[in-house]
Amino acid sequence: MTQAYAEVIGDPIVHSKSPLIHRFWLDALGIDADYRATHVRPDELAGYFESRRGDPAWRGCNITVPHKERALDLVPDPGGVRATIGAINTVFRDQDGVIAGTNTDAAGFWTPISALDLKGRPVAMVGAGGAARAVLFALARMEVGPVTILNRTPLKAAGLLASFGLKGHIAPLDARLPAAALLVNASTLGMTGQPSLQLDLSPLPDDAIVYDLVYAPLQTGLLQAAEDRGLDAIDGLEMLIGQAALAFELFFGAEPPRDRDEELRDRLTS
Ligand code: NAP
């Protein structure tokens, strides 16, 4: 019988860390399946889903830039992700073999902060793109207080808060931070090859958490500034591994061994 497989698709795709993560878990659990990276250009996306739909060995795929929104037009969205996050990052087969799209980014973001009580507490977030939408989805469910969005193009953030039922403010990148209990960087600032994120963290309270979604590099300038101020920090690998874990269960029907996260993190950073 042909070996079962899942894959990550994107354009470009060569730098994706997903194959390393999923193969680590497949090996750890002794599951005879593969997880690969497949380069799919925008004009190939519809044909890609058409061909995979009829392949019984295909368990599904993760979707990365630039296909997360467009894929919504090509696969069913039983969970209503279009109306909320507006993008899918995982396509899987349900119990009847029917393919469905979902988004595991929001839950992947939420897992490392799930034990925090942020109800009613102010939050600040940098960025207003796709990742920011997944963050706002999770924050709304945590019933956080006012959310201040700082973005290069403040207008792009207008309407975002209301669409998630949140209250707060929109501000430019050089605005003073509020006394937020959680600061999230959901922009590309601080990524390798991008400008750094320059923020004055002094308005944050001493128990604030700083969460950077950027994972390349892992130790960003923002996380360094948080450590220098003695604040707890969460890096982008936490969310990356978290969203992958949920997708892995959907593809292979098994829970990944999260007790081996430290070993996995070492591999991802070596
Ligand atoms: P996106 O949709 O392209 O949004 C990019 C955001 O960054 C926008 O807010 C954009 O501002 C801002 N930005 C880009 N270049 C900028 C610049 N030169 N100066 C100021 N602002 C700039 O990207 P995304 O998919 O949301 O991803 C954002 C980040 O999250 C990336 O670093 C990505 O790797 C990370 N991410 C991590 C995970 C994880 O699992 N850890 C998951 C998803 C995403 P404008 O609105 O003004 O254009």
Which tens digits make up the pLDDT trace of 211-252? 999 999 999 999 999 999 999 999 999 999 999 999 999 999
What is the average pLDDT score of the chain?
96
- As given in the structure block, the two tokens for residue 216 are 């390349």
Instruction: Compute the distance between CA of residue 154 and CA of residue 169 in angstroms, rounded to an integer.
Output: 10
pTM over 0.85, yes/no:
yes
* Beta-carbon-side half-sphere exposure of residue 198 (alpha carbons within 13 Å): 5
Query: Would you call 68 a catalytic residue per the annotation?
Result: yes
Ligand 1: which residues within 6 Å by Cβ?
Answer: 105, 108, 127-132, 151-153, 156, 186-189, 191, 194-195, 213-215, 236, 239-240, 243
| Structure confidence at residue 1 (pLDDT) | 67
**Residue 139: its H or E element:** helix 130-141
**128: closest CA among 105, 98, 159?**
159
| Structure confidence at residue 265 (pLDDT) | 97
Question: Residue 49: pLDDT above 70?
Answer: yes
Instruction: Compute the distance between CA of residue 237 and CA of residue 269 in angstroms, rounded to an integer.
Output: 10
Q: Which amino acid is at 34?
A: D
**Of ligand 1's atoms, which has the minimum distance to the CA of residue 173?**
20
**Of ligand 1's atoms, which has the minimum distance to the CA of residue 239?**
40
Q: Which member of 68, 119, 156, 167 is catalytic?
A: 68
| Structure confidence at residue 133 (pLDDT) | 94
Q: Which of 148, 152, 238 to mutate to test the pocket of ligand 1 (most atoms within 8 A of CB)?
A: 152
